[in-house]
């Protein structure tokens, strides 16, 4: 039996691709094992978002290659590079990693990984022959509810990829060139998958895609622009899906990740407010607030639009936790732009906020712009915004003290609230014996940075020590 080990890098979308690969390997009778040293094949599922992700991916490839050279048993081990970096750069990489890699596969080959492995073993590559590239043109694949898949997340939460690809023209981003044009799954397909997951005991469905707000719009008769608001009167929309998911029986959260501000509408705000299973949490990357920057980034939004949208979201969905991201150090960014950004952050008081230093990505329009800023300046601006957000985060956490929250227990002594997405947000430390993967009610007794300390409802206040001991 062929044994395969897989290293999954990058975001949740890549993780779902890894899960599909593992599902197909199992279906083909191959064993998937955690230890690379005992595997016949190692797959590195790469990320290519920014330079540091590429470096990390290359680092893993070189490590696997070096280690397989160290033992006799691993001499015949095959190394396959998959994922976003492979999809985008395999033409260059096949000569650069001629000796290290045995094959490159792309995003559309996740379901064909088993026959590709058999093919690699069947054909011995000549010494001068470049590693084969099993990638055909632009990515168009989208999984269905019955696609074989083996979940790699803990039992109680799952990522559900509702669409793939992106039609937005953001000048800094390479992902549309990697993942192709937006294509949505059908509502029926997503609902069938969600039903199955809830039946298996999943308590949190995290809806993901490049732009979840554009869900269904690619199927409309009249082609929407990248600014069209979510509107179910024109065809299938995210609101249609949310209402259907909300109607599935069971106790679970639906979490909306990766929404684009340009498509938000009052209908979407109303739908979230009216669907109790949809978490009071939104992930809405804004990237900047100054019109100067939003224009250069081609974000299809404006400062006035964003300010009004955040106001409408907060008014329409009481208790909402808003997560956003900003980019600092984009070409041409001035001190006045950063001042405006800081003033906006102070005013909007986002509960969750991430800041990226702009990364000049080959193949993007922003990479060719004049006025690229120095790494030192980007770093200084990043520190300025992060310092400000740390103060706001402390204030936000402080406001939670004394409140009762419903949490989902992640591991013994560690839980997550409705306002905390897996992997990216904070944690609630609570000494309870509620089983992992179950909901519990807790009272917040203190906070530390981005995390909260709590007790099960009905106990005396905990100290940090008590809460830590429970971990």
Q: How far is the CB of 17 from ligand F3S (least distance, A)?
A: 8
Q: Is 313 exposed, middle or buried (0-12, 13-18, 19+ CB in 10 A)?
A: buried
The strand pair at 253-256 and 204-208 is best described as parallel
Considering only 25, 39, 47, 205, the residue that binds ligand F3S (CB under 6 A) is 47
Q: Which of the ranges 42-50, 91-99, 114-122, 338-346 carries the binding residues for ligand F3S, by CB under 6 A?
A: 42-50
Structure tokens at 306: 């964003």
Q: Which of 58, 175, 238, 306 binds ligand F3S (CB under 6 A)?
A: 175
Distance CA 155, CA 422 (A): 13
290 and 340 in contact (C-beta within 8 Å)?
yes
Buried b (16+ CB within 10 A) or exposed e, 414-442: bbbbbbbbbeebbbbbbbbebeebebbeb
Q: Is 53 in the site for ligand F3S (CB under 6 A)?
A: yes
Kindly tell me which of 135 and 442 has the beta carbon lying closer to ligand F3S. Answer: 135
Residue (107 or 415) nearer to ligand F3S, CB: 107
Asked whether position 84 contacts ligand F3S by CB under 6 A, the answer is: yes
Q: What residues contact residue 295 under an 8 Å CB cut-off, 6+ apart?
A: none
CA torsion 59-63-69-72 (nearest 10°) is -150
Q: How far is the CB of 56 from ligand F3S (least distance, A)?
A: 10
Supply the minimum distance, in Å, between the C-beta of residue 366 and ligand F3S: 16
For ligand F3S, the closer CB: 43 or 47:
47
Cα–Cα dist 423/445, whole Å: 23
Residue 208, phi then psi, degrees to nearest 5: -130, 160
Tell me, rounded to whole angstroms, the distance of Cα 278 from its chain centroid: 18
Q: Which of 6, 7, 8, 14 binds ligand F3S (CB under 6 A)?
A: 14
Asked whether position 359 contacts ligand F3S by CB under 6 A, the answer is no
Could you say which of 11, 20, 241, 282 contacts ligand F3S (CB under 6 A)? Answer: 11
Determine which residue in the list 42, 49, 81, 145 makes contact with ligand F3S, applying CB under 6 A: 49
Task: Copy the structure tokens of residue 375.
Answer: 């790494």
In the complex, residue closest to ligand F3S by CB = 10
Does 203 interact with ligand F3S (rule: CB under 6 A)?
A: no
Q: Are 205 and 176 in contact (CB under 8 A)?
A: no
- Residue 89 within binding range of ligand F3S, rule CB under 6 A: no
Burial of 22 (0-12, 13-18, 19+ CB in 10 A): buried
- Of 6, 10, 301, 330, the residue at the interface with ligand F3S (CB under 6 A) is 10
Residues that bind ligand F3S (CB under 6 A): 10-11, 13-14, 47-49, 53, 84, 175, 178-179
């Amino acid at each position: 039996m062929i044994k395969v080990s897989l290293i999954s890098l990058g975001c949740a979308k890549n993780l779902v691709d890894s899960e599909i690969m593992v599902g197909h390997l199992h279906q083909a009778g191959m064993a998937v094992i955690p230890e690379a040293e005992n595997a016949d094949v190692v797959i590195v599922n790469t990320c290519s978002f920014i330079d540091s992700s590429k470096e990390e991916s290359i680092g893993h490839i070189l490590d696997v290659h070096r280690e397989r050279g160290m033992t006799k048993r691993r001499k015949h081990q095959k190394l396959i590079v998959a994922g976003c970096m492979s999809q985008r750069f395999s033409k260059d990489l096949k000569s650069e990693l001629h000796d290290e890699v045995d094959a490159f596969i792309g995003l559309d080959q996740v379901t064909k990984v088993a026959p590709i492995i058999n093919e690699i073993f069947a054909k011995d590559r000549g010494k001068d022959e470049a590693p084969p590239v099993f990638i055909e043109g632009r990515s168009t694949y989208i999984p269905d509810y019955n696609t074989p898949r083996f979940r790699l997340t803990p039992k109680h939460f799952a990522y559900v990829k509702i669409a793939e690809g992106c039609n937005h023209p953001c000048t800094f981003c390479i992902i549309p060139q990697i993942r192709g044009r937006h294509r949505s799954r059908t509502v029926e397909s997503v609902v069938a998958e969600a039903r199955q997951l809830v039946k298996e005991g999943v308590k949190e469905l995290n809806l993901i895609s490049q732009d979840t707000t554009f869900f269904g719009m690619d199927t409309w008769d009249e082609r929407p622009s990248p600014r069209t608001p979510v509107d179910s009167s024109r065809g299938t929309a995210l609101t249609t899906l949310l209402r259907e998911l909300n109607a599935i029986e069971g106790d679970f959260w639906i979490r909306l990740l990766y929404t684009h501000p340009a498509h938000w509408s009052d209908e979407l705000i109303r739908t979230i407010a009216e669907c109790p299973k949809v978490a009071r949490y939104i992930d809405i990357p804004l990237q900047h607030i100054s019109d100067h920057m939003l224009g250069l980034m081609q974000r299809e939004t404006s400062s006035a639009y964003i300010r009004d949208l955040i106001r409408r979201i907060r008014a329409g969905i009481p208790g909402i936790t808003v997560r956003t991201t900003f980019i600092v150090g984009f070409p041409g960014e001035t001190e006045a732009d950063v001042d405006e950004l800081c003033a906006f952050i102070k005013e909007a008081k986002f509960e969750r906020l991430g800041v990226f230093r702009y990364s000049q990505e080959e193949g993007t329009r922003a990479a060719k712009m004049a006025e690229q800023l120095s790494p030192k300046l980007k770093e200084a601006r990043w520190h300025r915004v992060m310092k400000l957000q740390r103060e706001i985060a402390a204030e936000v956490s402080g406001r939670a003290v004394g409140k009762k929250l419903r949490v989902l227990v992640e591991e013994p002594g560690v839980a997550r609230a409705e306002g905390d997405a897996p992997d990216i947000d904070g944690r609630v430390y609570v000494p309870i014996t509620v089983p992992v993967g179950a909901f519990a009610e807790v009272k917040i007794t203190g906070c530390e940075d981005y995390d909260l300390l709590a007790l099960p409802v009905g106990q005396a206040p905990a100290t940090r020590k008590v809460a830590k001991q429970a971990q």
